[in-house]
A = this chain, B = another copy of it.
């Protein structure tokens, strides 16, 4: 069973560099901490055909989860669910439950239910609407073969509330029961290219551990390299033991070859 996940962010403002994509950052982190392996995140302009084709393509990887944000609102260019519908063959239909959510919201705001507002109640057939406690557009949960496609609004505060209150509990119970242990250590005085053979050797011994070196660009001349180590296991004890072994090994090898101590606590 592979717990692969993909993230889509829809909106010209993200692709054209007017808005920093904090949604993909947030979702990547949350999914990873739930034990899912995020393979990619894809940002696309507001174009139904392109979004549908990429969804279609990503579905061929048979991921467990696809999360989309953006394009759920009342305006003419909010067409993400149309793309989900195209990619899955589930036509859009008026969802009673979603309509009730929207009616209730606009009643409380003393506003009429115009066509633009009613549009947000059309979900792909078989979807479950996700309540939006802050804004107006409901989200959408659609299970299709091996994959659940979760569509959320692009407004960060709405997306996060819906994720934390409704989506995450469900993904947690579907996901792997694992413990993730992470460590960040820092090496000073050795170029990244000199650390590379050490990391390579350690990965031969621990092929399932994830190790990545990050040169801190503002201090390149001093060769400040942060090393990130992550390992997950059903047992927290084992996960911690393995990560500690890797850190000790890194420490010893770096001292042996370059006479330098690493900082293990950053």
Contacts and interface: CB of A to CB of B under 8 A. Distances in A.
A18 B29 contact: yes
A25 B21 contact: yes
A17 B13 contact: no
A169 interface: no
A103 B75 CA distance: 56
B45 A40 contact: yes
Interface stretch (A111-119, A236-244, A246-254): A111-119
Given A116-B197, A155-B215, A217-B156, A45 B50 contact: no
> What is the total number of copies of this protein in its complex?
2
A42 interface: yes
Contact of A75 (B31, B77, B117, B213): B213
Interface stretch (A90-98, A143-151, A188-196): A188-196
Contacts of A76: 196, 199-200, 203
A266 B57 CA distance: 40
Contacts of A158: 217
Contacts of A138: none
B43 A228 contact: no
A13 B74 contact: no
Contacts of A134: 217, 220
A218 B212 CA distance: 36
A28 interface: yes
Interface residues of A, number: 68
A167 interface: no
A233 interface: no
Interface in A107-157: 109, 111, 114, 116-117, 134-136, 155-157
Contacts of A31: 17
25 contacts: A12-B210, A13-B212, A13-B228, A15-B28, A16-B38, A17-B28, A20-B22, A21-B24, A40-B45, A42-B43, A73-B192, A73-B193, A73-B215, A74-B192, A75-B193, A75-B195, A75-B196, A75-B199, A109-B191, A111-B193, A114-B197, A117-B193, A156-B217, A157-B220, A158-B217
